[in-house]
Amino acid sequence: MHLSDEPHRGRWLLLIHQLPPTPPYFRVKIGRHLARIGAVAIKNSVYALPATPQTREDFAWVYREITGGGGEATVCEARLVEGLSDEQLEAVFHAARNADYEALTEDVRAAQKAFPKRGALSVQRREEIAASVIGLKKRLADIAAIDFFSASGRVTLDGLLGGLDARLHEASGGAPQSSAGSMRADQVRGRTWVTRKGIHVDRIASAWLVRRFLDPEARFKFAASKGYVPEPGELRFDMFEAEFTHEGDRCTFEVLVDRFGLDDAALRALGEIIHDIDLKDAKFGRPEKAGVERLVTGIALTQKDDEARRSRGAALFDDLYESFTRKAD
């Protein structure tokens, strides 16, 4: 049983340490070890991990390393009562992992630029890029292993790395991989659509698209992304291993528009805005980005419940769609 499932046990593990002043590299060594296992600092010399058998073992190794090097350390279980809340500590983990994902995203985008604009790759260049992709995937797996609360950056990276695989295939002379218009709305009617908790712009907009253009009676479910197993009749979107999620450098909203062949100028405009907000790459440079981002952020700040966010967001995207439809006309 997960330790946090037991009400009398602490949800968190804390490592409290005091390191000797010399040698100076010892502090760096311990810091790197803590970073490698995904621990975050909540106070000077106080580090936290969610309480699981694996993290208990991870802290035990750090404890041995500290005491073996002449330092002092204590590992304890903890329940947060006053001050820092569970949600705030989870946010610290999210921020740490998203920083890791963001750094890796920049390297993936740099790898994308290695592809020629036209023509096939030479055998040597193909092998070099393939080796680079393998290394990037290994780094993603290492970050994902310590992503205890499913930070949002994982979905974007999965899509970008999948896009690298597709481009490598095409640049090596393979046929382009396309799913444009490959599905019909009647194939997904009557389903429950599942996505990660804490919905923001791409998930809010995608839910709006599903309800408005694919199934007016669609039901939605908000779940923890890590380890979620879909039930019969469920479709996942914008989450790890989902049926509909990021592909290449496209956000989930763009993928849904493409997959269902929704040829609509207003939807394309919305997709460009959502892309620029979600992927933060300024690909389309939409002038509406800042305003829409501010509105969606306001919804997220004032509505903690995901269904309330979806409902408020649906009204926003109804209005935005209408404005682009009239502009298109």
Question: How do the pLDDT tens digits run along the chain, 329 residues long?
Answer: 343 444 456 799 999 999 999 999 999 999 999 999 999 999 999 999 999 999 999 999 999 999 999 999 999 999 999 999 999 999 999 999 999 999 999 999 988 887 776 666 777 878 888 899 999 999 999 999 999 998 989 999 999 998 888 888 776 666 666 666 789 999 999 999 999 999 999 999 999 999 999 999 999 999 987 778 899 999 999 998 899 999 999 999 999 999 999 999 999 999 999 999 999 999 999 999 999 999 999 999 999 999 999 999 999 999 999 999 986 55
pTM of the model: 0.80
Phi, psi of 20 (to 5 degrees): -70, 150
Q: Which residues contact 73 (CB under 8 A, 6 or more apart)?
A: 15, 16, 17, 18, 62, 63, 66, 67
In angstroms and rounded to an integer, the radius of gyration of the C-alpha atoms of the chain is: 23
Whole-number Å distance between alpha carbons of 1 and 9: 11
Q: Give me the DSSP letters along 101-163.
A: HHHHHHHHHHHHTTS-SSSPPPHHHHHHHHHHHHHHHHHHHHHHHT-TT--THHHHHHHHHHH
Q: Does domain 3-78 have CATH number 3.30.1490.20?
A: no
CA of 12: how far to CAs of 15, 46, 89, 134, in Å? 10, 12, 10, 34
Domain boundaries of the chain, sorted by first residue: 3-78, 86-171, 185-328
